[in-house]
């Protein structure tokens, strides 16, 4: 592991902390690889019964590193490492709890939505800005959490959602005072870890099968293959990059 992702295992619960505080925990290729590798490792570890995903500092995750992503796109690459990390979290068979300590924008919002349970600080906020950048972010997953109409509003407008609204529409399970957030998540994770691991894994599989749409997931991936690198996407993405300070340059997942 590198220091861009800090891991800690206690009493059957693995805590993963995104640790690029100078970039608001934006995900570059190194961090995307670290997340995927660690999730692979935790899937094979029978001592791990639940995972908590959070961010160090004042942000949960601001998405993909915009500077890096734009450079990859301009050189003809795909720039979808963030999306691969989100998909790996979504397909992890054990429970994943998002401990959302601050803003979760773009790929960071998609990462939170890819978790099974979301506890948020009152300082948390969410944004699904794919339409603003010329991509689709969260279209296949958000409707099963907040409903079709709310999902369309958030995705079509790319507006910011604060913690209070997120709780009201079901985007998060619970909002907790910032200083109490990790204790609340720790208590929840311990309760999950105390249950039958096999029963919990099967329960997750059954619930996901009952509520997920394979067709929707495939269509979102197809949409982004068509959209990424198009003139509209590149012009919007480049303009957004120019408007953001270098230390805060981030992009959406897809």
76 found inside a domain? yes
Tell me the DSSP string of 124-192. -EEE--HHHHTS--STTTTHHHH-HHHHHHHHHH--EEEHHHHHHTTSSSEEE-GGGHHHHHHHHHHHH
Q: What is the pLDDT of residue 71?
A: 76
CATH code for the domain in which residue 29 is found: 3.90.226.10
Q: Is residue 77 part of a domain?
A: yes
Residue 210 domain flag = yes
Separation between Cα atoms, residue 237 and residue 69, nearest integer Å: 10
Q: How far apart are CA 201 and CA 199, in angstroms?
A: 5
The pTM of the full predicted model, rounded to 2 decimals, is 0.90
Element containing residue 197 per DSSP (H, E): helix 197-211
Q: Retrieve residue 242's tokens.
A: 């120019």
Q: Considering its fold, how many domains does the chain have in total?
A: 1
What residue numbers bound the domain in which 44 lies?
A: 5-178+202-251
- Would residue 183 count as lying in a domain? no
Q: Cβ contacts of residue 63 below 8 Å, gap of 6+?
A: 26, 27, 82, 105, 106, 107, 108, 109, 250, 251, 252, 253
Distance between CA atoms of residues 21 and 145, nearest Å: 28
* Tens of each residue's pLDDT in the chain, 254 residues: 459 999 999 999 999 999 999 999 999 999 999 999 999 999 999 999 999 999 999 999 999 887 787 777 777 766 678 989 999 999 999 999 999 999 999 999 999 999 999 999 999 999 999 888 888 889 999 999 999 999 999 999 999 999 999 999 999 999 999 999 999 999 999 999 999 999 999 999 999 999 988 888 889 888 988 888 788 887 887 777 777 645 454 455 55
Assigned token pair, 83: 């999306």
Asked whether residue 120 is assigned to any structural domain, the reply reads yes
pLDDT of residue 239: 78
Which residue, among 42, 46, 69, has the nearest Cα to 249 in the 3D structure? 69
In a domain, 95, yes or no: yes
């Amino acid at each position: 592991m590198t220091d861009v992702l800090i891991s800690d295992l206690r009493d059957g619960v693995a805590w993963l902390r995104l640790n690029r505080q100078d970039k608001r925990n934006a995900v570059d290729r190194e961090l995307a690889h670290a997340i995927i590798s660690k999730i692979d490792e935790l899937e094979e570890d029978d001592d791990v019964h639940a995972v908590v995903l959070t961010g160090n500092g004042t942000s949960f995750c601001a998405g993909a590193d915009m500077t890096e992503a734009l450079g990859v796109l301009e050189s003809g690459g795909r720039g979808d490492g963030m999306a691969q990390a989100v998909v790996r979290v979504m397909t992890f068979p054990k429970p994943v709890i998002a401990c959302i300590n601050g803003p979760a924008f773009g790929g960071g919002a998609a990462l939170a939505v890819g978790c099974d349970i979301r506890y948020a600080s009152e300082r948390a906020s969410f944004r699904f800005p794919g339409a603003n950048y010329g991509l689709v972010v969260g279209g296949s997953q958000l409707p099963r959490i907040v409903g079709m109409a709310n999902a369309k509003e958030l995705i079509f407008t790319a507006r910011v959602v604060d913690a209070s609204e997120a709780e009201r529409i079901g985007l998060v399970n619970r909002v907790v005072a910032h200083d109490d957030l990790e204790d609340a998540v720790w208590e929840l994770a311990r309760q999950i870890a105390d249950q039958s691991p096999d029963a919990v894994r099967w329960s997750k599989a059954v619930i996901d099968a009952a509520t997920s749409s394979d067709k929707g997931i495939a269509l979102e991936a197809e949409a982004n293959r068509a959209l990424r690198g198009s003139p509209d996407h590149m012009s919007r993405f480049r303009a957004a990059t120019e408007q953001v300070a270098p230390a805060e340059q981030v992009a959406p997942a897809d």
